[in-house]
């Protein structure tokens, strides 16, 4: 690619000019990548082509969609309009935003990218100060983002693509040579703590009593807070009802954005079931058969006789049924670090770390320069001074709940995994165009038909 072509890339210009609604309404899943064959009886197709991996710029555009895209706005009230009492107005875990929404801007979703050259963890870089869609900038930021965690494509061994690794027909078209996949995993643990605190900022009488639906609906470490009136004993909320605190929705929204952009570029795009998440992350129950795969750190709670009733774990040798991933390390560095033991010495320490990341020295609400880039005319200082933070009672009550969960169930969270895997990934690839032209009325869009002339230069 010449210097002039780098400065003015026709494929990128075409993408930026493409109408959004045209992409949305013409979006369709395209499963068959260049070089793939389809055994389908009288509709069988044998590709005459070799697989064709995505180019560096094509991947860089998609990587950009997983990263940070600027700063968010704390456009929320500071006080209750009924009595003008202050309300908690600093719930965010981050102020940098992405291309999709996130509860309390938790941004717990991390991405892996899988292609012929290996498997990569994608770091979330700070928002770009320059032209985000300049080809050189995109490619350079993609290079900075990538951390190689495997020197090969993440996959099970040859001949092991049947269930529980792959589902049904997916095993014939998913994760083939030449394809690039984007795999999301979501750290629920930080937002689980943060959302508990946010929940406890409700006004008097509206703060619920957390009860444990896996322990006979007993109070979840909050008896003191019921007695002193901080929580309403008549308003009960089961821990299980909290689920993943809605944090898992981030991954779905981000994947949809990526699929739309891939389709607008003229690439094939397919969101579908991954390799079984437990196998893929390296759950000890499966690693003897399938290997360590991504090699996440797992915690297996110590068996308690009460687990027979709480979790239907009948004997100590089945304790690993409740093993869950808590983080990922590469070369001694934590790439993903759940807010729970053993990453922290205790749940008290994990909760305190989340609070410090928000309000401590160097925390997001201590970064005055960031807020000066969000607000006009000196309003940043007003927001930081006037918007309320968590009351100490809120922090202490949330800490007691988190300590209870870990002490009672041997892991945190107990009713969801610290690292949640949605179980879907996005495959992007160059299309086997002849297959779609042969069999389908509207198999290709104009973007697909002209992709090669605009991107493969």
List, for residues 382-405, the tens digit of each pLDDT value. 999 999 999 999 999 999 999 999
pLDDT-based confidence at 4, cuts 50/70/90?
Answer: very low
- Return mean pLDDT, the chain: 95
Torsions phi, psi of 182, nearest 5?
A: -120, 115
Which of these, 84, 83, 103, 82, lies nearest to 94 by C-alpha position?
103
Dist. CA 257–CA 135, nearest whole Å: 20
Give 330's strand partners: 333
pLDDT-derived band at 152, boundaries 50, 70, 90: very high
How far, in Å, CA of 303 to CA of 332, rounded?
Answer: 29
Q: Answer whether the bond into residue 445 is a cis peptide, omega within 30°.
A: no
| pLDDT class of 1 with cuts at 50, 70, 90 | very low
pLDDT at 130 (0 to 100): 61
- Per-residue pLDDT of 9-37, as tens digits, reads 999 999 999 999 999 999 999 999 999 99
Give the H/E segment covering residue 384: helix 379-386
Let me know the angle formed at the C-alpha of 32 by 30 and 37, rounded to the nearest 5 degrees: 160
| Mean pLDDT confidence for 118-135 | 86
Largest CA distance in the chain: 75
Rounded-to-integer distance, Cα 409 and Cα 264, Å: 47
Can you give the pLDDT at residue 3?
37
Q: What is the CATH number of domain 3-455?
A: 3.40.109.10
Residue 122 has pLDDT above 70, yes or no: yes
Residue 320 has pLDDT above 70, yes or no: yes
pLDDT band with cut points at 50, 70 and 90 for residue 127: confident
- What is the rounded CA–CA span in Å between residue 328 and residue 353? 18
Q: How far apart are the first and last CA of the chain?
A: 7
Q: Which long-range contacts (CB under 8 A, 24 or more apart) does 24-28 make?
A: 24/260, 26/263, 26/445, 27/259, 27/260, 27/263, 28/263, 28/442
Q: What pLDDT, on a 0 to 100 scale, did the predictor assign at position 8?
A: 75
3-state secondary structure of 313: coil
């Amino acid at each position: 690619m010449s210097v002039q072509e780098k400065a003015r890339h026709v494929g990128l210009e075409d993408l930026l000019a493409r109408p959004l609604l045209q992409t949305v309404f013409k979006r369709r899943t395209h499963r068959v990548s260049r070089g793939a064959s389809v055994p389908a009886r009288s509709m069988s197709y044998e590709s005459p082509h070799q697989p064709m991996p995505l180019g560096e710029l094509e991947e860089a555009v998609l990587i950009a969609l997983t990263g940070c895209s600027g700063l968010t706005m704390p456009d929320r009230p500071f006080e209750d309009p009924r009595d003008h009492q202050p309300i908690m107005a600093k719930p965010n875990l981050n102020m940098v935003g992405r291309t999709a929404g996130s509860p309390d801007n938790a941004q717990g979703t991390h991405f892996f990218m899988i292609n012929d050259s290996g498997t990569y963890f994608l770091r979330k870089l700070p928002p770009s100060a320059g032209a985000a869609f300049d080809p050189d900038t995109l490619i350079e930021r993609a290079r900075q983002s990538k951390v190689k965690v495997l020197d090969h494509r993440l996959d099970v061994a040859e001949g092991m693509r049947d269930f529980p690794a792959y589902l049904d027909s997916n095993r014939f078209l998913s994760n083939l040579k030449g394809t690039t996949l984007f795999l999301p995993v979501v750290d629920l643990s930080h937002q689980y703590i943060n959302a508990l605190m946010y929940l406890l900022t409700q006004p008097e009488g509206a703060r619920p009593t957390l009860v444990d639906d896996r322990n006979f609906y007993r109070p979840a470490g909050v008896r003191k807070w019921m007695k002193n009136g901080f929580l309403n004993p008549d308003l009960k909320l089961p821990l299980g009802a909290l689920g993943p605190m809605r944090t898992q929705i981030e991954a779905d929204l981000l994947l949809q954005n990526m699929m739309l952009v891939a389709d607008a570029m003229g690439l094939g795009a397919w969101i579908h079931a991954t390799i079984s998440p437990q196998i893929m992350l390296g759950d000890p129950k499966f690693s003897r058969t399938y290997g360590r795969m991504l090699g996440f750190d797992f915690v297996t709670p110590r068996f308690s006789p009460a687990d027979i009733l709480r979790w239907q774990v009948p004997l100590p040798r089945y304790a690993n049924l409740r093993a869950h991933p808590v983080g990922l390390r590469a070369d001694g560095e934590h790439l993903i670090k759940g807010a729970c033991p053993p990453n922290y010495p205790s749940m008290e320490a994990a909760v305190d770390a989340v609070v410090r990341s928000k309000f401590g020295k160097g925390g997001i609400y201590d970064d005055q320069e960031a807020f000066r880039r969000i607000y006009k005319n000196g309003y940043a200082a007003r927001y930081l001074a006037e918007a309320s933070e968590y009351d100490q009672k809120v922090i202490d009550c949330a800490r007691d709940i988190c300590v209870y969960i870990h002490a009672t169930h041997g892991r945190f969270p107990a009713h969801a995994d610290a690292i949640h895997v949605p179980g879907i990934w996005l495959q992007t690839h160059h299309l086997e165009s002849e297959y779609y032209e042969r069999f389908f009325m509207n198999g290709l869009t104009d973007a697909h038909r002209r992709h090669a002339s605009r991107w493969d230069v």
